[in-house]
Amino acid sequence: MATESELIDAALKARENAVADYSHFRVGAALETESGEIFTGCNVENATYGLTACAERVAVWKALSEGRRQFRRIAIAADSEALTPPCGPCRQILWEFCGDIPVILGNLQGRRETLQLRELLPRAFDRSFLK
Ligand code: THU
């Protein structure tokens, strides 16, 4: 199992591939599976703006599309003094596919903070309401 610092390093490395020509705000994510594999993602922007893909969702889609279904943690890295948390839609998607996992935030200055997804998305709507 990777250390928190290794997971953040993977997110920082993924961030280097960000396609952020419009916002210039580069984000990287590293999603760890239950078995310890790491799937990374970066944000990918587009001239329509609205079709932008966030780093977190890219990592989730990559892992799901490779058949992984159980996840343990995610790390998110950006160059912001206040640590960048996942946006609202990413919180919903993380809840759907990962549940109440630890979300490790980091920046380029070495600041780190770990939050549970439940803290970021209280009273989440999910499949339990549909039964
Ligand atoms: N972004 C992410 O990829 N993840 C986040 O957690 C916050 C925002 C991206 C989307 C867009 O490409 C840029 O950051 C500015 O919003």
pLDDT digits (tens, 9 = 90+) for 43-72: 999 999 999 999 999 999 999 999 999 999
CATH architecture for segment(s) 4-130: 3-Layer(aba) Sandwich (3.40)
- In angstroms, the CA 56 to CA 48 distance is 20
- Ligand 1 pocket residue status of 56, Cβ below 6 Å: yes
Confidence class of residue 1 from pLDDT cuts 50, 70 and 90? confident
Closest CA to 46 of 15, 86, 18, 11: 18
For the chain, which residues make up each domain, given as ranges?
A: 4-130
Q: Whose CA is nearest to atom 9 of ligand 1?
A: 54
Average pLDDT over residues 6-31: 98
In angstroms, the Cα distances linking 106 to 30, 110, 118 are 11, 7, 19
| Candidate of 87, 94, 104, 113 to mutate for ligand 1, largest count of ligand atoms within 8 Å of Cβ | 87
- Ligand 1 pocket residue status of 84, Cβ below 6 Å: yes
